[in-house]
Chain A
C-alpha cells in the first residue's frame, strides 16, 4: 500500500463517518462541527487529486466562513427539542433505507458506465491545479461568469441585510 492509498483511505473514512454522524446527531452544534470535519477531510482529498487551490479555498470559504455563519445562527436561535422523524412513523424507516440504497445503487451503476475518456499523466494534473493556471483561465476565458458571480455575491449580501432587518418597510 502506497502512501497515497493510505492517505486516501484515511480521508475517505473520516469523510464517510463524519457525514453519517452529521446527519444522525440530535444537537445541531455537533452536526455543524462534524460538517467542518467533513470539509477538512474533503480538502485532504482535493490535495490528493492535485487541486491545491480548491483545497485551500475549501478550508477558507467552507470550513472557515460558511460554517462560522452556521454556528452563529445556531447559537442565535433557541435550541429546541427535535422529535425523531422515525419515532412517529416506524414503517417509514424501512422505506427510507430501501430508497436510500436504491439511490446509491443507481449512482454506482451510473459511475461504472460513465464515459471516462483519456486519463492524463501526473504532471498535467499538478499543472492545472495551481492558482496560477486557474487564475489565468478565470480572468481570460471565464471572465464573464466571474463578473456575474461577483454580482451574485453582492446581491446576496444586500438581500441578507434586507431580510434580517427588524421591520420591512
Chain B
C-alpha cells in the first residue's frame, strides 16, 4: 500500500504549481485554469484522507467541490466573455477598472 504522504506531497506540488500559474500568467482563462488545478489538488487531499481514514465524508465533500467548481466556471467564463465584449482583451493587467 502506498503511504498517505505520497498522495499529500503530490497534492502539495499541484497546489503550488496552481499558485504559480495564478501569480505569473496574464491570460484570464489560464489564471482560471490554474484555480481549477488548485481545487483539484485540494480534492486529492480530501480523497486521500477519506480513503485512509475510512470516512466517506471526504468523498462527499469532493462531490460538492466539483459542483461548486462547475457553477464557478459557468459564471466566471460568462464574466470573461462580458469583459471581452467591452474591452476586447482578457489580459488581467489591462482589466483594472476596480483598482484605485
Contacts and interface: CB of A to CB of B under 8 A. Distances in A.
Interface in A91-121: 96, 100, 103-104, 107-108, 111-112, 114, 116-120
Contacts of A66: 36, 69-70, 73
A128 to B, nearest CB: 4
Interface of B: 1-2, 4-10, 12-21, 23-27, 29-30, 32-34, 36-37, 40, 43-44, 47-48, 50-57, 59-60, 62-64, 66-75, 77-82, 84, 88-91
A159 B32 CA distance: 18
The A interface, classified by DSSP as helix, strand, loop or mixed, is: helix
Nearest to A125: B51
Chain B interface main SS type: helix
B75 A163 contact: yes
Interface of A: 4-5, 8, 12, 15-16, 19-20, 22-23, 28, 31-32, 35, 38-39, 42, 45-46, 48-51, 53-54, 57-58, 61-62, 65-66, 69-70, 73-74, 76-78, 80, 82-83, 85-86, 96, 100, 103-104, 107-108, 111-112, 114, 116-120, 122, 124-125, 128-129, 133-134, 137-138, 142, 145, 149, 152-153, 155-157, 159-160, 163-164
B20 A16 contact: no
A86 B13 CA distance: 21
Contacts of B68: 149, 152
Given A49-B7, A96-B24, A142 B81 contact: no
Contacts of B26: 82-83, 85
Contact of B53 (A39, A111, A118): A118
Contact of B20 (A77, A100, A142, A145): A100
Contact of A125 (B54, B74, B88): B54
Contacts of A58: 66
Contacts of B73: 66, 69-70
A105 B63 CA distance: 29
A85 B64 CA distance: 34
Contacts of B4: 116, 119
B14 A4 contact: no
Contacts of A107: 12, 15-16
B81 A153 contact: no
Contact of B70 (A86, A156, A164): A156
Contacts of A23: 17-18, 20-21, 24-25, 30, 34, 37
Nearest to A156: B71
Contacts of A118: 53
